[in-house]
Structure 1
Amino acid sequence: MLRVRVHQADTTVVRLPSEVDHANASDIGARCEDLIEEGCTTLVLDASDVQYLDSSGVSMIVALSSVLDSRAGALRLAALSDHYQQVWGLLGLDTLLPVFPTVHAALDGRVTGACADTVESLDPA
Structure 2
Amino acid sequence: MLRVRVRHADTTVVRLPTEVDYDNASDIGARCEDLIKEGCGTLVLDASEVQYLDSSGVSMIITLSRALDNHAGTLRLAALSDHYQQVWRLLGLGTLLPVFPTVHAALDGRVTGACADTSESLDHA
Fold conserved (TM > 0.5)? yes
Report the CA distance between 1:26 and its aligned residue: 0.1
Whole-Å separation in 2 of the counterparts to 1:97 and 1:68: 12
1:28 maps to 28
How far has the Cα of 1:17 moved from its partner? 0.1
Task: Give ranges in structure 2 of 5+ residues lacking alignment.
Answer: 110-125
Shift of residue 96, structure 1, vs aligned partner: 0.1
The whole-number CA distance in structure 1 between the counterparts of 2:2 and 2:104 is 19
Runs of 4+ in 1 over 4 A off after TM superposition: none
- Indicate the residue corresponding to 1:46 in structure 2: 46
CA distance, structure 2, for counterparts of residue 81 and residue 21 of structure 1: 16
Per the TM alignment, residue 30 of structure 1 is displaced from its structure 2 partner at its CA by 0.1
Q: For this pair of structures, how many residues does the alignment match?
A: 109
Of structures 1 and 2, the one with the larger relative CO (CA 8 A, separation 6+) is 1
Provide the identity percentage. 84
What is the aligned partner in structure 1 of residue 95 from structure 2? 95
Unmatched segments (≥5 aa) in structure 1:
110-125
CA-to-partner distance for each residue in 1:32-73, whole Å, 9 max, x for gaps?
000000000000000000000000000000000000011110
Instruction: Determine helix, strand or coil for the equivalent of 1:97.
Output: coil
